[in-house]
Structure 1
Amino acid sequence: MGGLFGVVSTSDCVADLYYGTDYHSHLGTRRGGMAVCNQTSIQRAIHNIENSYFRTKFEEELNRFHGHFGIGVISDTDPQPLIVSSHMGTFGIVTVGKINNQEALVQRAFKRRSYFSDTTAGEVHPTEVVAMLICEADSYVEGIKNAQDAIQGSCSMLLLTDQGIFAARDRLGRTPLTIGCRDGAFAVSSETCAFPNLGYDVDHCLGPGEVIQMSPDGWEQQAPPGESMQVCAFLWIYYGYPASEYEGINVEEVRNRCGAALANNDDTPVDFVGGIPDSGIGHGIGYANQRGLPYRRPFVKYTPTWPRSFMPQNQKMRDLVARMKLIPVRQLIDGQRILFCEDSIVRGTQLRDNVQVLFEYGAREVHMRPACPCLIHPCEFLNFSTSRSTLDLAGRTAIKKLEGAEDRHLGEYAHYGSEKNLAMINRIREQLHLTTLKYQRMDDMVAAIGLPKDRLCTHCWDGSSYT
């Protein structure tokens, strides 16, 4: 995924930039970066955050950087920000999203005798491709429009210039950007949870494809929003922070409503309800409140020495680290019938290990209630649930075992309550050793979010999307 934060201020902006960017650390595991524009130059720093917190890596910059305009990024793709010298001037750029036609854009550039300076394992960095597209135009605004028109997938971005910050939401609004304001300063953020403790109030949510320019005096729309929107539904279900809101809709409230919807369709006798930390907690509280059941924490998360960002590249080690973070509480488990709410089941590997621990600690029954339908399609628009193989998805693995191939009758398997859908869910239940497994209905998830379905991207579950 990834997250963006930018600030323009009449006073030095570095402290706001440092803490505002840090509030996006839950969105990425690879790189963090900041750039600040002062009267003479742009200062930039990029650090690896795979085994440490953003704050610890950027403490030096907090004291060394100075300026009134700044942009920051938590990136799961390439090292950012980039600093680009162009015919329009020098600018910094940060992006989040996924460019599906990147190879075609790169080859187009090569035919024009262009080149790219930053590569990793022979791959051109996507942010440099976006910068190249911007530099094809005569102004920053026209360049941003050119990039958005050319990119298939999604790309939201911030540009740092001596004129202020340009912020652009991706063409179909899959990733949000929100403007905050306070006396003498404006900020733009992927996550509104970055605003309250820094003294900012939400001022404007950018629409799909909208471009704005910010200065310490205010912000001005440079390109209007489009009519079509496909905002990612997983923002509310999984990777958004509970204190954040998108399209004016708070994440924690949605999770509580998702849990309540699960409860309305369930009468399984259990002793108490829990939530798989962290994002399953809001769903679990909503479920417990709706059914009038106790909410308890048979798993607690240990974070002091296991930061969110520490995720080794080796999958076996990733699974080990994920398991080490969750500590079981035997006294709450032994002899109990436990129902857990979870945000989703992607691969199921970690969940299977957690369920095994519960039974080893004496649980009588373990029931699982994911807050969304079964994932069947890898994400094509953001760097979430992407993988080298669709078989990394528990749903596709089950389909292959049932059909002999993982791409047959996908529409039927996605249809809630159908014979094939129930067979897939039962196969996943068996693989995870669960007593029962019931997924959320698509209609209930959409209702819990509170936007029309055609304004949400639900591709991961039913394969539907705009392009």
Structure 2
Amino acid sequence: MYSVEVEGNKWKEECGVYGVYSRSAEADVSGMTYLGLYALQHRGQESAGIAITDGAWMDVTRGMGLVNEVFRHQVPHMDNQYIAIGHVRYSTTGSSMLANTQPLMVNYSGGKISLAHNGNLTNATEIRRELEETGTIFQTTIDSEVFVNLIARSRKATVEEKISESLNKIEGAYCLTIMTENKLIGARDPQGFRPLCLGKIGDDTWILSSESCGLDVVGAEFVRDIEPGEMVVIDDDGVKSYKFAEPKLNMCVFEYIYFARPDSVLDGLSVHEARFEMGRVLARETNYKADIVISVPDSGNTAASGYAYESGIPYVEGLVKNRYIGRTFIQPTQKKRDTAVKLKLNAISSAVQGKSVVMIDDSIVRGTTSGKIVRMLRNAGAREIHMCISSPPIVYPCYYGIDTSVRKELIAATKSVEEICEYIGADSLHFLSLDGLKHCMRKLGPDHMCYACFDGGYPIEQKSASPAEHDKYVFEQRKK
């Protein structure tokens, strides 16, 4: 999933996937999936969907909007249902419309199958073109549909073999939950760009979730992370593991900087712990003398608390967030995004007036929102504003499931730190160093992370440098 549309200060999320398998008579698999998607709402706010099966019938309910909007009347239900998968989406390939919502559901010679995908397939254009030339019909303009067509066309004997063969033709980032009439299947790409974990309740209920917070909400026990290059198959015989590719772990470091919920644990590393350490390292790298530390809520909160802890400068609430406004990137135009910033944040004058302020945020993409926040604090009476960013400058686009910009629109690709500081109107600006960020990842292993957006070291060779090949609407703009 890829896009050229970016909100002024943040990269957009990717998607969230969820799945439940249970033979317990007390388990409500669709209800649990609903709760799981609610916990993963931060990963996608454009659409949501749930697919369910009772072993014979399969049905899917999808809609535009937040989870509680899509299912405001009723969560889908089926007598004797025992498998469900769910998806929350932010559109990064294909338009934001009902036809492109997930889970996808198809009928093929092997039966029925539903699929939900988080990530971005870097060779989807090439594969789709080959499939279309042999007569394959596509119903959507999303890269995820490539999966179901490859599975349906496979001549392998079992569904596990069909999926494994299909995955080995795909390049890029993907975490999948797949449902057949009698199996729940999860898969993670060999690089492990996106997270996926396994949980359980008792002895007969199994759960797949993009993040561990999706397990907590239903009272599930965390079992383990799905390994890169691994496919797990859950049926009445329990959980079976298949390695379809050699693992080459390159987890997206932005999962820890911004995307994941702070209460999640990904590949054994607490997101909260990583962000707190980022703040501590920022304090050591800057050593600013200031009166207060504030954050840009909510994504800067944990790093700001770490900065305050390390520096000894009090951490106070200097910006208040309107909890009823979604993340500003969901607005489709820049004018609406500007209005959303004003609706979403406001400065607390009594907290910042006359003060030298250290303000912590997680990233700067274009810098327009950062400039608005700095001006807001100036108007509220802040004497000095020292801005600290808990990530290095973003210089390169991402091709692995984050909604990003063409490189010329990334402010750090065209301006120096000093020029960015002047552009946003701060008194000083400091980005966390790449070495400092790697220090924060030391428990997981700094060599097991993807830092491509900072240093251009893409784990997968980019076969096409053409922006058109990675455009969000690549399947909608092709010549007929």
**TM-score, with length taken from structure 2:** 0.86
1:444 lines up with 2:436 in the alignment: yes
Number of residue pairs aligned between Structure 1 and Structure 2: 431
Q: Is the contact between residue 351 and residue 432 of structure 1 (CA under 8 Å) also seen in structure 2?
A: yes
The equivalent of 1:417 in structure 2 is none
The equivalent of 1:96 in structure 2 is 118
Structure 1, unaligned stretches of length 5 or more?
119-123, 399-423
Q: Is the contact between residue 56 and residue 181 of structure 2 (CA under 8 Å) also seen in structure 1?
A: no
Instruction: Answer 1 or 2: which has greater helix percent.
Output: 1
Which has the larger displacement, 431-440 or 35-44?
Answer: 35-44
Q: Is the contact between residue 190 and residue 247 of structure 2 (CA under 8 Å) also seen in structure 1?
A: no
Distance verdict in 2 for CA 1:16–1:332, change over 3 Å: same
Secondary structure class of the residue paired with 1:235: helix
Matches within 5 A, 1:48-447: 48-49=64-65, 53-62=66-75, 64-66=77-79, 67-77=81-91, 78-118=100-140, 124-137=141-154, 138=156, 139-183=158-202, 184-215=204-235, 218-223=238-243, 226-304=246-324, 306-308=325-327, 311-384=330-403, 386-387=404-405, 389-398=406-415, 424-447=416-439
Amino acid at match of 2:445: P
Distance apart, 1:217 and its partner CA: 5.4
CA distance in 2, matches of 1:68, 1:320: 45
Distance apart, 1:182 and its partner CA: 1.1
Where relative contact order (Cα < 8 A, 6+ residues apart) is larger, the structure is 2
Distance verdict in 2 for CA 1:225–1:102, change over 3 Å: closer
Distance apart, 1:330 and its partner CA: 0.8
Distance verdict in 2 for CA 1:5–1:465, change over 3 Å: same
Distance apart, 1:145 and its partner CA: 2.4
- Aligned-pair identity in percent equals 27
Distance verdict in 2 for CA 1:16–1:201, change over 3 Å: same
Amino acid at match of 1:141: E
Which has the larger displacement, 135-144 or 171-180?
Answer: 135-144
Matches within 5 A, 1:36-47: 36-47=52-63
Distance apart, 1:382 and its partner CA: 1.2
Amino acid at match of 1:88: G
Amino acid at match of 1:21: L
RMSD (Å) for aligned C-alpha atoms: 1.7
**TM-score, with length taken from structure 1:** 0.89
Distance apart, 1:35 and its partner CA: 0.5
CA distance in 2, matches of 1:111, 1:57: 36
Structure 2, unaligned stretches of length 5 or more?
1-13, 92-99, 461-480
The equivalent of 1:453 in structure 2 is 446
Q: Is the contact between residue 346 and residue 376 of structure 2 (CA under 8 Å) also seen in structure 1?
A: no
Secondary structure class of the residue paired with 1:150: coil
Distance apart, 1:341 and its partner CA: 1.2
Q: Is the contact between residue 103 and residue 116 of structure 2 (CA under 8 Å) also seen in structure 1?
A: yes
Question: After superposition, what is the alpha-carbon deviation per residue over 1:434-459, rounded to whole angstroms, capped at 9, x for unaligned?
Answer: 11111111111112122333210000
CA distance in 2, matches of 1:337, 1:65: 59
1:15 lines up with 2:31 in the alignment: yes
